[in-house]
Homo-oligomer: A and B are copies of this chain.
Amino acid sequence: MGGRILVADEVATNRIVLKVKLSSAYYDVQLAETAAAARKAMRRGGLDMVIADARLGGTHGLTLCRTIKADPSTMHIPVLLLTADDDPELRLKALAAGADDILDKPPEESLLLARVRNLLRARETEQELHLRDGTHAALGFAEANQPIMDPALIAFVVADPAEGMRLRRSVSTLCEDEVMILSRDETLGRKDDSPQPDVFVIPAGLMSKDDGLELMTELRSRGATRHCPVILTEAQVESSIAARAFDLGASDLLRPGADPRELVQRIKTQVRRKRLADALRADVRDGLRAAVTDPLTGLYNRRYALPHLSRVREAALRNGRDFAVMLIDLDHFKSVNDRFGHPAGDSVLVEVASRLRDNLRAKDLIARIGGEEFLVVLPDTDRGQAEKAAARLCGVVNAAPVRVEGLGEEIGVSVSIGVSIASPGLSGGSPTIARLMAEADDALYGSKSQGRNQYTLSPQAA
């Protein structure tokens, strides 16, 4: 089934016509004949979209839209307003009220369905970023209502630089945003690392018929610009171009001769959406990073380390090179905590973690896998190299005591290390991860029982 769409219109015929059109694409259509009935349907919930007459009961279409867009629990529901008046002020008011679009009444069927698909697809993408089940909201990161302060960078793509200047002038009196003028070739030839626009504005027929749509699909296929909204201008909304543009992923469409204020309003809406979506994407990355990171030391955690070790082992089985595993335990850590308190203990952990990390190669892994226990994985490392690395790590940790902010005395630190080596090149030389960890643990125990502050290599595999 398609989504559930509420249609609000005072005139029964209008409601019925819309219902028939939408039902043909298997949307689940609900009808309301007053703004009050529409609000009631909203409260029942479960709606994916609202299509309302802008003048429902006078001006209640706009009020309804404002209400929906002001409530965090409904603001993501697309609102499509319809109007029979050719009134630029009403169009502006509708967009300012947060309407996702305002279409002429009655809307042409293929355009209506394409716009509905387009808005629902955008909503699905957005919901996916929210992770549907609320995990994202649960993370408590970017919230929908952040004010957007920074000026945006708007790119107008034009065939003629003079047209660009005219556009820039008409827009700059209306907003604080920065405007750049690009040709088609400049748009496509732009370096990926140059600042990307927050929104592209492209004429549907940039230089020839429909080539604005092609430029848009190019931008959509590129990593640097695929999430940039594209507003197509000069598009006859009555024509099949408009429906195609929406199906190809246009974020919005502006008819020929539209008021510049309307363009600016539509730009604002797209920029706000893009920034929110960017923030949500960044949150997903941060959240995932947090899932594999130890918050105290910033090292990877156990969850990360063990699969990583498996991958290192698999690579070694392919390339036949040795690799080494170290278990490192901070000596006498409990007594540090007991004598100086937990905050001092934490400082010691952070400092030791940093000394260890700074003395490993970029391709080595270090993770904190327990309270005072670290795991180090060294790919492409044979017995001799592993021994040198272990000696170095013992040395740098023990070289100087740790100074703790606000504590009178310095705390002497040392680590004990157990090392195991896998030699997949030798026959019988591809021990399991469990075996390698157990060997390293036995070796660590050896270091501890021999007096700490030293490393032990597990005996060579038979």
Residues of A within 8 A of B (CB): 1-3, 25-26, 114, 116-118, 120-121, 124, 127, 131, 133, 135-141, 185, 188-192, 214, 217-218, 220-223, 226, 247-248, 284-285, 287-292, 300, 303-304, 306-308, 310-311
Contact = CB atoms under 8 A, between A and B. Distances in A.
Looking at A117, A192, A220, A223, which has the most chain B CB atoms within 10 Å of its CB?
A: A223
Given A287-B291, A288-B136, A121 B221 contact: yes
Contacts of A310: 140
A221 B115 CA distance: 11
Shortest Cβ-Cβ A-B pairs, 10 listed: A140-B307, A26-B188, A117-B221, A291-B291, A121-B221, A290-B291, A287-B288, A287-B291, A120-B221, A26-B189
B135 A288 contact: yes
Given A117-B220, A140-B308, 15 more contacts: A1-B192, A2-B218, A26-B188, A117-B218, A118-B221, A124-B226, A133-B285, A135-B288, A135-B292, A138-B292, A139-B288, A139-B303, A247-B248, A248-B248, A287-B288
Copies assembled: 2
Nearest to A216: B247
A308 B221 contact: no
Contacts of A139: 288, 291-292, 303-304, 307
Nearest to A114: B217
A131 B292 CA distance: 14
Nearest to A281: B128
B290 A135 contact: no
A137 to B, nearest CB: 8
Contact of A290 (B284, B300, B303): B303
Contacts of A137: 311
